[in-house]
Amino acid sequence: MDPLMDLALLVQHGENREAVLCAEKLLAESYTVEQIVDAVAKGVAILRNKCTIENFQLLDVLLACRAMTEVVDECVAIKLKQQLDSVAENHERAAGTLQRKTIVIGTIQGDVHDLGKHVVATLCRFNNLRVINLGKDVPVEGFITAAGKERADFVGVSSLMSVCLPKIKMIKPALAAQGLGHIKVIGGGSAVQQSTAETLRLDYLAYDAFDGLDYLCKIT
């Protein structure tokens, strides 16, 4: 059987861990991200006949969507981040040792979504910012420690989950308590956009990656 069809069927049957392992294997064998995404989409599309009034099987659909999400988060996103890193590293080598400002960036504790944040980090690197990427699920203390250690000019924090917003609100006061109140704090992500910069104690609330980049470039 076609290996891509194997992946589609694993997603269709809701076999999330097996689907992730299959996708990882295919990517290691030089299948492209586009092929993986296409296979995953086909696996979910097969379930279309289970979403009708006459035949609605919610559990099957939920399990397939979980499998699809895990393949995207654990395989596709990681592959894309690796590709972005490779391109950004080549750019940095070509740019040489310019004097650059530093941004510490991460996804706040409780949120494990970080592809969008990684795109922002890559754009910053292309615009000659020094980026300290803390990854996902980062506690407030992690931002503060890294900002002090790296002598950061900016802290960038993101979240797609509104339940995490109270932690974002703690970053600016925690920086000030450590004598780092001069560091600008920029927030982004769909959950952050539901609030305001004033409520979250942010210096700037970015509505997308390029909006945030524009703000950083104006400051630098």
Alpha helix (H) residue ranges in 136-179: 140-149, 165-169, 171-177
Alpha helix (H) residue ranges in the chain: 3-12, 16-28, 33-45, 58-71, 77-95, 115-126, 140-149, 165-169, 171-177, 197-200, 209-219
Euclidean distance between CA atoms 80 and 211, whole angstroms: 22
| CB of 168 closer than 8 Å to CB of 108 | yes
Q: Quick count: other Cβ atoms within 10 Å of Cβ 51?
A: 12
**Stretch(es) of the chain classified as CATH 1.10.1240.10:** 3-86
pLDDT tens for the 220 residues of the chain, in order = 699 999 999 999 999 999 999 999 999 998 998 899 899 988 888 776 655 545 556 778 788 888 888 898 888 888 888 877 887 777 777 666 566 799 999 999 999 888 788 888 888 888 889 999 999 999 999 999 999 999 999 999 999 889 999 999 999 999 999 999 999 999 999 899 999 999 999 999 999 888 998 999 888 6
* CATH class for the region spanning 3-86: mainly alpha
Euclidean distance between CA atoms 6 and 170, whole angstroms: 46
Coil/strand/helix, residue 169: helix
Residue with tokens 């795109």: 119
List of residues 6+ apart from 18 with CB closer than 8 A: 10
pTM of the model: 0.67
Instruction: Give the tokens for residue 64.
Output: 């397939």
- The fold of the 99-219 domain, in CATH, is Rossmann fold (3.40.50)
**Stretch(es) of the chain classified as CATH 3.40.50.280:** 99-219
Euclidean distance between CA atoms 114 and 81, whole angstroms: 10
Instruction: Give the tokens for residue 210.
Output: 């390029």
